[in-house]
Structure 1
Amino acid sequence: MTIRTLLIGPAGLAVALSLTGCKLEDIPGKALNQTPDFLIGEVHYRAYDGVTNDLLTAGLGASGLASATAPTFADSLNPSPAELRRLAIYNNYRALVDTSPGGGYGSFFGPQVGGEGEGLIAGEEFLAFIDAGNDQAPVTVMVQIPHHFDPDQPCMVTAPSSGSRGVYGAIGTAGEWGLKKGCAVVYTDKGTGTGSFNLETGAAQRIDGSLSSDPEVDVQFRANLDEAGRAAFNAAYPNRVAFKHAHSGSNPEADWGQHVLASIEFGFYVLNEQFGQQTGHGQRVMTINPDNTLVIASSVSNGGGASVRAAEQDERGLIDGVAVSEPNVNPLPDSAITIRQGNGGVISAHSRSLLDYTTALAVYQGCANRAPAIRDDAPFNAVLNDVSVNENICTALAAKGLVTGATLDEQATDALRILNEEFAVQPEQNLVAPSHFGVSVAQSIAMTYANAYGGFAVEDRLCGLSLAATDGSGAVMPLTDAQEAALFSASNGIPPTAGVNQVYDEASGGATNLKQASSNSSGLADFGLDALLCLRGLATGVDPLTDTALSGTAADQASAIAAGIAAIRSSGDLGGRPAVIVTGRADAILPINHTSRPYFGLNRKVEGADSGLRYYEVLNAHHLDAFNAFPGFNERYLPLHHYYIQALDLLWARLNDGTELPPSQVVRAVPRGAGAPALSEANLPLVAEEPAPEDRILFSDNQVRIPD
């Protein structure tokens, strides 16, 4: 591996031109490659030989990524940037892709499928910070150029990170597909990322994941507190940690589309520095440009939502098509649009915001976990959820009048009804949701996004919540040096993660890990229900106990959050571009009646006959394919990742060969069944070129019509 640094800066080009005497007009009809003025500091360059190290697997190869044994650091307290990168790629790949035997890895997908040997890909990698208007939290961008990239037929794929992950967060999804195709892949952490800041020590992560306490060094995130403010905070709340997505004081999601567009611009800059025509004066002409380069906006989950927003906001014609999976889109609510599945009821209360439905899940799902209809069949329910805590949540909700029923079973059944009927959470999600509650998915999203939407900082401790390491009893403790050194590689950017937990500072008995916290109002260990109800109120602007508008400070906070949510809404206008969305019907993180389904309807209403969007809804698929490696999941659920790859292949054929995208449809993937035998083609039917009439998804009379 070789490493060098490229000198950049807005004045760099002007200085170079003055030294060479070359002017833009000396090259008729062509533009010189110019350094984007949003870049900060240096562009870091690494070349990988595809033998000892590579772009896709960090030298681990397909078998290394599948291994249950993670790569280690030679010195656990001082890992090298190369070691941090290797572990980050290992963890990010496995977080999104099921690498278990029989689950499709190595046969339907994986580095080795369609590649050679272990699937290592040689090439070059460029990493930089860009200015997003927040000095404390720059956005990270990266370009990977495989050695088989063809500058005469250039292509580019966007890979914004899923969730709140760092810049390698889409390496196993859009990254793998794009690199295999020979395309440059442009990544961004979208302003979320794994950036942590230790309030006690001032330690933060550099762009390569190594730690620095020097306030003059560029880092991924630094809390905006002066020394006196930090000392005061530490005295009151010692051993706390701030995270970039939650505590930057900005609303990064409002600019996710712009971050993706900036990553594309950075990609063109890097490609032309490498392949652009030389002027004879040491400069490069921008010979690879949007007019001759195929650009696909892609990724999954939050990354998919970011690419959708980028296409909506693309005024320069940078993007040619969109292919995303399970995107986090928050469509502009349109009451004229309805949704109906089969002969079921008509859904008009769709398009709730992420914070709205997530806080509802955070409040009610713990009780719903013990509903007789699902408690014994939901995979890992008993393993990940404490039965006594579930019962306490039901008891507390009933005492507050939020669920009804004389028995715990009746209360739990009512909680499940509330989610399915009042919040339009599909019944297909019911068996998946308990495991997600057990690993604090809704709870973590509720805290992080409420902070982000409202632009709150770590010292605001919204709803009495903070972040820290905790011991077995739930008490706050210092993060160990080894844990902190590995955060760049081990964290998903949204605690609880990698040893950092949510802490309820106002719990009965003092600050406690939220999962173990007792509420003052109930006196019960109810997963800190008081804090979750506080977040629920801020999401809606209404006190969930009295159903009246919030007042005072809470009203101001809710107003700020509402403005943040308004800023992240999707317009549905993709400019007529060919586009594909694939989503699993059992998605328990981004419920389809508030994301993909209404987005499809909004797009069809906005674009009409000009719409190029196709929507494929996959049965027996959910949001987190990695869970499919475990018993209970492997028998019931299929890899949505397989259909994401097919979506990209279909879009590629559409853009290169003019092949029409198949109509919108339900794809009837077939579970593996008892014993989870290895996946075969019989389990994974292709998206049909001509689906049967009973499988077609239609938009008619302002209604999204979904087959059962």
Structure 2
Amino acid sequence: MKRLMICTLIGASGLALTACKDSSNPAINTLPDFVRGNVEQAHYDGITDDLLTAGLGASGLADATKPTFADPLNPTPAELRRLAIYNNYRALVDTVPGGGYGEFFGPQVDASGEGMIAGTEYRALVSVPGRNQPVTVMAQVPDTFDDDRPCMVTAPSSGSRGIYGAIGTAGEWGLKKGCAVVYTDKGTGTGSHNLETGAAQRLDGSLTSADEPVQFRADLTESELADFNAATPDHFAWKHAHSKANPEADWGQHVLQSIEFGFYALNEQFGQELGNGERRITITPKNTLVIASSVSNGGGSSLRAAEQDQHGLIDGVAVSEPNVNPMVDDGFTIQQGDGVSITSHSRSLLDYTTALAVWQGCANQAPEIRDVAPLNGVFNPPAVGENICSSLANKGLVTGATLDERASDALRILNEEFGIQPEQNLLAPVHFGLAVAQSISMTYANAYGRAGVEDRVCDLSLAATDSNGAVTPITDNVEAALFSSSNGIPPTAGVNIVYDSAEGQPTHLASSVSPSSSQADYGLDALLCLRSLAQGSDVVTGAPLSGDAATLADAIADGIDEVRASGDLHGKPAVYVTGRADAILPINHTARPYYGLNQRVEGDDSNLRYYEILNAHHLDVLNGFAGVADRYVPLHHYYFQALDLMWAHLTDDQPLPPSQVVRTVPRGDISTPLAQSNLPPIEAEPATADRIEFVDNQLRIPE
């Protein structure tokens, strides 16, 4: 039973509740005061268009042919929405036949026909007190919503994605349950600002250069903008990187705001009509089941919201692979099987990603993984890896006289010094080839330091590039589709990371020649600069930073402190799943230490359960490729199991299974479709050898 709360401003969270706990004094439904501008509303019939698939249905989402625009230069908001849902769904969910789509997950599973869901969608821009840049929120209310048994699921976007970033994860599960699903882009999303033309994105994704509400524009004066464009024409500012807001510090607040926006939307539909255009609130936090959910950054956001929820808005939490930066607590250790006890856990996201950005390109050539890691040869040209190893050796950052020795030392550094699990080694190369660590390092260094695009952190910027890596104006049709095509963190959708100080000319980072080496070593000088900012000292010399670099490093450190999670869920029931092979969010710094911290903070009052899935990783979409599909199973399946377990716990008082390792069975032969035998369930009573336990200040993980 949720605690009573009054209809008043909640000072601790900055939220103005629209729903009153005291049903004897019902309130009038009003738009939350954090909403900026109008609320966009549309109903979808579930036949020509719908909430979950934008009218594409399950088969349309699985089709490799993308939806197109009638006029590529002027897409309609409906066309932008359809392509955004298509791209965001497929970015997280493996839709390749045989991988579980249509059998274990997908719109058509436990649904009729193509799985299209009729309902109403509400979207708006909101703000957090003290922040200038707007955040997008959305509520989807399916026609199957039962106002006698109301439920709500949060769906903050994963990664840096836009408002539809969690459509295929928390969105699909919640809508199929008949729950309202509330989304937020968490202050990330595309939010592109073409500094040359002034074009930016409206709430619906269409472009405008006019002075009107948009998702993001860089905070530059007219003269500053002119100077920037004169020095470096055809560049972009991007919302997550350049909003000067450190949006991650507010991710929990954004989720709480999305919940309140959801209650507003529900009462607009189902509140008691008073005959004067007003509605009396009938759906409240007291009578509504609310599950905080989502994956990756979205999962971390929901955990942070549960930590900050002092007023009973959230009943339970069910997330997958959450990106959390736990507060550092050296009072406990982590041990897997009979392995070495890990004391240096809970490194920050920027710490381990800058390490991956610096050393992984060399480690990709290590004999242990060079010819074994899937897609390594496709995404990581050996010549570039050799140059990276050579540059690192010349700077004293790896040892060895041969390429094999240097690459093996780079791999050792990542595994032993930075706590990267050996199970993550095989997938790390494909992530480096996709510039995952590089893009995170660049974006988050800017965000944590509250730097603007004009600050050119480590001489890195954003622009379209040509086949030679040189900056070029973005084509009009590519820019018109950015809202639908971008994942919110360049390189994405035709916009790349540019190293402005590359030898010769500003160049796409991946093909940059470093001034210090005159080698095409993936702009290693810029990546070393980011690493130095993360550790607060020169990574090559070990000397303290000075001047502007020291000031920025201090600001970044402060920004990281702002996003540290407390581990205190206030006794809320919570479950999360993560894959042991997660090569984006290493489990020794995220999932495992968060669970340990929670046990330390809450002790016997903790209701958190942790399920570690073997042979699973961060991006299920990669399971559609040979070399990955045969080794790994979909974590997405276990995320839906976690949601089912939480639902059963909250609605039927079913006990949550103990924390455990789940021993999946990879397919091996990808011509054989994934079967239930590959996916053993999270057990209600796991074997003793599979139980995860926190004993004597040690988190013990079975091998």
Trace 1:285-364 onto structure 2 (pairs within 5 A): 285-364=280-359
Give the Cα separation in 1 of the matches to 2:133 and 2:469: 30
Matched, 1:478 2:473: yes
Structure 2 counterpart of 1:617: 612
Task: From the superposition, tell whether residues 571 and 294 of structure 1 become closer, same or farther in structure 2 (CA, over 3 Å).
Answer: same
Assess if the C-alpha contact under 8 Å between 2:131 and 2:245 holds in 1.
no
Q: CA deviation at 1:547?
A: 1.5
Trace 1:62-101 onto structure 2 (pairs within 5 A): 62-101=58-97
Trace 1:518-557 onto structure 2 (pairs within 5 A): 518-557=513-552
Structure 2 counterpart of 1:16: none
Assess if the C-alpha contact under 8 Å between 1:162 and 1:303 holds in 2.
yes
Give the Cα separation in 2 of the matches to 1:633 and 1:524: 32
Q: CA deviation at 1:135?
A: 6.8
Structure 1 letter corresponding to 2:687: A
Task: From the superposition, tell whether residues 282 and 28 of structure 1 become closer, same or farther in structure 2 (CA, over 3 Å).
Answer: farther
Q: CA deviation at 1:281?
A: 4.3
- Could you say what secondary structure the match of 1:614 adopts? strand
Assess if the C-alpha contact under 8 Å between 1:136 and 1:224 holds in 2.
no
Q: CA deviation at 1:301?
A: 0.3
- Could you say what secondary structure the match of 2:464 adopts? strand
Structure 2 counterpart of 1:21: none
Structure 2 letter corresponding to 1:557: L
Q: CA deviation at 1:676?
A: 4.5
Matched, 1:111 2:107: yes
Assess if the C-alpha contact under 8 Å between 1:136 and 1:222 holds in 2.
no
Structure 1 letter corresponding to 2:474: L
Matched, 1:703 2:698: yes
Trace 1:7-86 onto structure 2 (pairs within 5 A): 28-86=24-82
TM-score, with structure 1 as normaliser: 0.96
Q: CA deviation at 1:278?
A: 2.8
How many residues were matched structurally? 684
| 1:331-366 deviation digits (Å, cap 9, x = unpaired) | 000001100000000000000000000000000000
Structure 1 counterpart of 2:634: 639
Matched, 1:493 2:488: yes
Structure 1 counterpart of 2:273: 278
Structure 1 counterpart of 2:12: none
Structure 2 counterpart of 1:3: none
Q: CA deviation at 1:137?
A: 2.4
Q: CA deviation at 1:492?
A: 0.2
Q: CA deviation at 1:55?
A: 0.1
Structure 2 letter corresponding to 1:502: I
Structure 2 letter corresponding to 1:368: A
Structure 2 counterpart of 1:225: 220
Assess if the C-alpha contact under 8 Å between 2:631 and 2:666 holds in 1.
yes
Task: From the superposition, tell whether residues 109 and 27 of structure 1 become closer, same or farther in structure 2 (CA, over 3 Å).
Answer: closer
- Could you say what secondary structure the match of 1:615 adopts? strand
Assess if the C-alpha contact under 8 Å between 1:368 and 1:412 holds in 2.
yes
Trace 1:585-600 onto structure 2 (pairs within 5 A): 585-600=580-595
| 1:502-544 deviation digits (Å, cap 9, x = unpaired) | 0000011120000000111111000000000000010110110
| 1:207-257 deviation digits (Å, cap 9, x = unpaired) | 000000002x10000011122211110000100011000001110000000
Structure 1 letter corresponding to 2:553: A
Give the Cα separation in 1 of the matches to 2:116 and 2:651: 26
Give the Cα separation in 1 of the matches to 2:448 and 2:382: 33
Structure 2 counterpart of 1:689: 684
Structure 1 letter corresponding to 2:255: V
Matched, 1:669 2:664: yes
Q: CA deviation at 1:28?
A: 4.7
Assess if the C-alpha contact under 8 Å between 2:98 and 2:670 holds in 1.
no
Task: From the superposition, tell whether residues 656 and 421 of structure 1 become closer, same or farther in structure 2 (CA, over 3 Å).
Answer: same
- Could you say what secondary structure the match of 1:77 adopts? coil
Give the Cα separation in 1 of the matches to 2:149 and 2:538: 57
- Could you say what secondary structure the match of 1:346 adopts? coil
Q: CA deviation at 1:283?
A: 2.2
Q: CA deviation at 1:30?
A: 1.6
Structure 1 letter corresponding to 2:358: V
Matched, 1:417 2:412: yes
Assess if the C-alpha contact under 8 Å between 1:40 and 1:130 holds in 2.
yes
| 1:263-289 deviation digits (Å, cap 9, x = unpaired) | 000001111111112345442222111
Task: From the superposition, tell whether residues 135 and 419 of structure 1 become closer, same or farther in structure 2 (CA, over 3 Å).
Answer: closer
Structure 1 counterpart of 2:205: 209
Assess if the C-alpha contact under 8 Å between 2:157 and 2:165 holds in 1.
yes
Q: CA deviation at 1:136?
A: 5.4
Assess if the C-alpha contact under 8 Å between 1:223 and 1:248 holds in 2.
yes
Give the Cα separation in 2 of the matches to 1:548 and 1:187: 45
Give the Cα separation in 2 of the matches to 1:675 and 1:558: 47
Give the Cα separation in 2 of the matches to 1:343 and 1:289: 50
Assess if the C-alpha contact under 8 Å between 2:497 and 2:509 holds in 1.
yes
Matched, 1:193 2:189: yes
Q: CA deviation at 1:470?
A: 0.4
Question: % of aligned pairs identical?
Answer: 70
Q: CA deviation at 1:548?
A: 2.4
Assess if the C-alpha contact under 8 Å between 1:635 and 1:676 holds in 2.
no
Q: CA deviation at 1:27?
A: 9.1
- Comparing 685-694 and 133-142, the one that deviates more: 133-142
Give the Cα separation in 2 of the matches to 1:584 and 1:97: 15
TM-score, with structure 2 as normaliser: 0.96
Give the Cα separation in 1 of the matches to 2:176 and 2:187: 27
- Could you say what secondary structure the match of 1:547 adopts? coil
Structure 2 counterpart of 1:17: none
Structure 2 letter corresponding to 1:127: R
Structure 1 counterpart of 2:423: 428
Give the Cα separation in 1 of the matches to 2:400 and 2:663: 37
Give the Cα separation in 1 of the matches to 2:284 and 2:558: 36
Q: CA deviation at 1:549?
A: 1.7
Give the Cα separation in 2 of the matches to 1:302 and 1:575: 21
Identify the match of residue 567 of structure 1 among 562, 574, 577. 562
| 1:112-156 deviation digits (Å, cap 9, x = unpaired) | 001110000000000000012477520000000000000010000
Give the Cα separation in 2 of the matches to 1:442 and 1:594: 15
Give the Cα separation in 2 of the matches to 1:290 and 1:408: 60
Q: CA deviation at 1:41?
A: 0.5
Assess if the C-alpha contact under 8 Å between 1:464 and 1:506 holds in 2.
yes
- Could you say what secondary structure the match of 1:175 adopts? helix
Structure 1 letter corresponding to 2:241: A
Structure 1 counterpart of 2:261: 266
Q: CA deviation at 1:675?
A: 3.6
Structure 1 letter corresponding to 2:168: G
Give the Cα separation in 1 of the matches to 2:118 and 2:23: 34
Q: CA deviation at 1:443?
A: 0.1
- Comparing 269-278 and 253-262, the one that deviates more: 269-278
Stretches of structure 1 that go unaligned for 5 or more consecutive residues are: 1-9, 11-23
Give the Cα separation in 2 of the matches to 1:161 and 1:265: 17
- Could you say what secondary structure the match of 1:178 adopts? helix
Structure 2 counterpart of 1:138: 134
Give the Cα separation in 2 of the matches to 1:134 and 1:303: 22
Identify the match of residue 173 of structure 1 among 165, 169, 186. 169
Structure 2 counterpart of 1:13: none
Task: From the superposition, tell whether residues 417 and 573 of structure 1 become closer, same or farther in structure 2 (CA, over 3 Å).
Answer: same
Give the Cα separation in 2 of the matches to 1:538 and 1:231: 29
- Could you say what secondary structure the match of 1:272 adopts? helix
Give the Cα separation in 1 of the matches to 2:475 and 2:484: 15
